[in-house]
Chains A and B, each alone.
Chain A
Amino acid sequence: MTTDTFKPRAKTTEQVVGLIKAVTHDTPQAAVVLGSGVSALNDLTHAHIFPFEELFGIAPTVSGHAGSLTIGRLPENQDVIVAVMRGRFHLYEGHDWNVVTLATRSFIEWGVKELFLTNAAGGVNSSFNVGDLMVITGFRDLLSEVWQKEGLQLLKKAPQDCQNDMSNRIISAGDELHRENKEFRALQKGVYAAFTGPSYETLAEIEMVRRLKCDAVGMSTVPELLTVANSGTAAAAISVITNVWSDDQPMGGHEEVLEASKAASRRLDQLFRHLLAKKHKI
């Protein structure tokens, strides 16, 4: 970092967990991270809300990211305790890896067993539609220190697999919801490529990730997926496809994207409720 603007005043994971435990002894069964423009689980009861700056010592810099952690219970099943992160820290903001992974490391420290990650992503797979939800089954890292160090050598390898019990559960929940109601679009599955940004990808880069067997591109989530490896916390991720890259079509208008994200958020909300409430039924 060349300036002091982002000199981390970040708290440690012990401090973060300490702050939470001073307010509530509820340990959530799952944490959900909501990416830009993604909205879900807005009606938790018994909610405790922590603004990012208070909790992590750092404020988000991106508009459209509220930047808060809510701990609460599902209205339809009060036994289900969930932590919902609205917004996250990104590398493109100038934050270092330590800050970008602080929330995830805090969830691990806190003993949260399951982490559901979401993001807004560009569709690279031309069979995708704006507003689709894609379960991330694998990813390509074009943003970590490993990528900076290895560069091309990392791209020569296959995408990193991240299918697990959680992603399989998301897929079957999606199947179920789609069978019950066709309005609930079938989930897509695919490989997510993470770039640092903040510039969008060039058309040649879109073509490159297509050749690398990726289905969507974005600027987040991979730090979290890399962080949970070998920890007691499992993670799965879902991309909301907010635009679809194609050669003969410019990026969709802002209105169209907003509308599609709203509909996608409603489906995502349904999906999370189904997953979280159901899991607790005995």
Chain B
Amino acid sequence: MKDWKRAKIFDFTGATDAGSTIKEFGESVTRTLREPSEEKLAIVLDTAYGLEGTAPVVVRDHINLSGFNPLIGPNHSIGERFPVVNDIYCADDSNGLTLKKVVAAGVKVGRSVDDSDLEFIRTLGAQCYCFNLVPTMLIAAHAGWKILAILGPAGTGWQKECLQKLGK
């Protein structure tokens, strides 16, 4: 079990304070993940759409449906040209949290997803979709990080409790 107390928080839900809120994935996230870091552990909070119920969930894997991979371009020397990105999500590490484990689909910002799309996403093996987690994870995996990703419905309420249980 990793010590998530020392993890860096990337909050895309706008709920936590302490300066860790980020509007959306972009250069600043990439820069941060490529800075020297001893632990290389990240807790990523993102808004999930299409979840059944209002409880937050922990991500065990993802499918990238965004048409975008942030690693495209010349390889950054921090990682391999062709990184293997399995075993990055630490879904079993959610300590005191007993959250449902899901596969999340990553969708392009601005894309509208209707009910039939959501139904189709489910047939592909994901239970919800989100916008920021997938590119963040790809940059993180390439740079050698492990991730605890927690998704929840839009709005606040679940983030603080989750982080508290993780000792943050």
Contact = CB atoms under 8 A, between A and B. Distances in A.
Interface stretch (B7-15, B16-24, B62-70): B62-70
Contact of A199 (B61, B85, B120): B85
B45 interface: no
Interface stretch (B35-43, B47-55, B76-84, B154-162): B76-84
A202 B125 contact: no
A196 interface: yes
Contacts of B117: 152
Contact of B125 (A149, A152, A208): A208
Nearest to B142: A199
Contacts of A25: none
B123 interface: yes
Contacts of B31: none
A62 to B, nearest CB: 7
Interface in B87-109: 103, 107-108
A93 B82 CA distance: 11
Contact of A152 (B73, B84, B103, B121): B121
Contacts of B57: none
Counting contact residues on chain B (CB < 8 A from A), the size range is: 35 or more
Counting contact residues on chain A (CB < 8 A from B), the size range is: 35 or more
Interface in A144-158: 147-149, 151-152, 155-156
A197 B82 contact: yes
Given A208-B124, A208-B125, A198 B65 contact: no
A42 interface: no
A151 B112 CA distance: 11
A3 B72 CA distance: 12
Contact of B120 (A92, A155, A195): A155
Q: Chain B contact residues: over half helix, strand or loop, or mixed?
A: loop
B123 A211 contact: yes
Contacts of A269: none
Contacts of A195: 69
B164 interface: no
Contacts of B28: none
A251 interface: yes
A211 B71 CA distance: 26
A204 B63 contact: yes
A199 B103 CA distance: 18
Contacts of A207: 125
A198 B120 contact: no
B82 to A, nearest CB: 5
A197 B68 CA distance: 9
A200 interface: yes
Contacts of A198: 69, 71-72, 75, 81-83
B125 A199 contact: no
B161 to A, nearest CB: 27
B141 interface: yes
10 contacts: A3-B74, A147-B67, A196-B69, A198-B72, A198-B83, A199-B84, A200-B82, A200-B86, A203-B86, A204-B125
Given A155-B124, A197-B71, A202-B85, 9 more contacts: A94-B73, A151-B67, A152-B117, A195-B69, A198-B71, A199-B138, A203-B86, A204-B125, A208-B63
